[in-house]
A and B are shown apart, each in its own frame.
Chain A
Amino acid sequence: SQKIEQNSEALNIQEGKTATLTCNYTNYSPAYLQWYRQDPGRGPVFLLLIRENEKEKRKERLKVTFDTTLKQSLFHITASQPADSATYLCALAPHTGNQFYFGTGTSLTVIP
C-alpha cells in the first residue's frame, strides 16, 4: 500500500541547532515533493518544492534534499529559532494522477 511517513511524534531541539525532519514514502513515484509549515489554527503555508531530478534546494535557513533511490526527503532548518516551532508537512505530487498526497506531519518545538 502507499504510505508517506514523517518523523514519528514530535521533535524537540535547542535553539541554534539544526532541525532535520524526514519524509519517507513507499509505492509512490513522485514527480516532485513539497514542504509546508502549519501553525495551530491555520492552514499550511508552502515553503519549498523540489523536483525528482534535483538533489538539493535551499531557501535562506531551509534546505531540502530528495533521494528517489532511498525514497526519502530530508528537511533541514539551520540556526533554529523558537519562531520555527510548528508542524511541518511533506506532500508528494506523483507522475500519474492529479492530486497531492500529504504526510501526517512532524511537530517541531525549538527550545530557547
Chain B
Amino acid sequence: KAGVTQTPRYLIKTRGQQVTLSCSPISGHRSVSWYQQTPGQGLQFLFEYFSETQRNKGNFPGRFSGRQFSNSRSEMNVSTLELGDSALYLCASSTLAGIQETQYFGPGTRLLVL
C-alpha cells in the first residue's frame, strides 16, 4: 500500500500571502489529522477530519483551516501568513477517527515564510 503523500514538499511564501497544502491518506483510511512541527514547540495538533467533517481542533487561530473531500484527501489552508508560520506541516491518516487509532504520518510540507 502506498503511504501518506503530501504536496508540495517545500514551499516559500511571503508574509501576508496564503497557502494551501494537500494530503492524500493511505487507501482505505478515512481520518486525516494535521500537525505543525517547529523546533521550539514540537508537534502541535491542528485539526482532525473524518468523513469530510472536522471532529477536533487544536489551539490555533482561525487563519488555519482545513477540509476533507469525499475521497478522504485533505487540504489545509493558512491565510495571511506570518513569519511564525514557518514550520514543517505533517498530516497523518488512520483507519478511523479517535485517539485509539495508530496514525501514519506523511513526509511533511516544509513551509518557509519570508
Residues of A near any B CB (own CB < 8 A): 31, 34, 36, 41-46, 49, 89, 91, 93-94, 97-105
Contact = CB atoms under 8 A, between A and B. Distances in A.
List the 10 closest pairs (A to B, CB-CB), nearest first.
A43-B105, A104-B42, A102-B43, A93-B99, A99-B45, A98-B56, A44-B105, A43-B90, A43-B106, A46-B102
29 contacts: A31-B99, A34-B102, A36-B105, A41-B108, A43-B90, A43-B92, A43-B105, A43-B108, A44-B43, A44-B105, A46-B102, A46-B103, A49-B102, A93-B99, A93-B100, A94-B99, A98-B48, A98-B56, A99-B45, A99-B56, A99-B58, A99-B99, A100-B45, A100-B99, A102-B35, A102-B42, A102-B43, A102-B44, A105-B42
Contacts of A104: 41-42
A98 B4 contact: no
Contacts of B55: 98
Given A89-B43, A102-B43, A105-B42, A43 B99 contact: no
Contacts of B98: 98
A105 B102 CA distance: 19
Contacts, number: 54
Given A98-B56, A98-B97, 19 more contacts: A31-B99, A36-B105, A43-B90, A43-B92, A43-B106, A43-B107, A43-B108, A44-B105, A46-B103, A46-B104, A91-B43, A93-B100, A97-B99, A98-B55, A98-B98, A98-B99, A99-B45, A103-B42, A104-B41
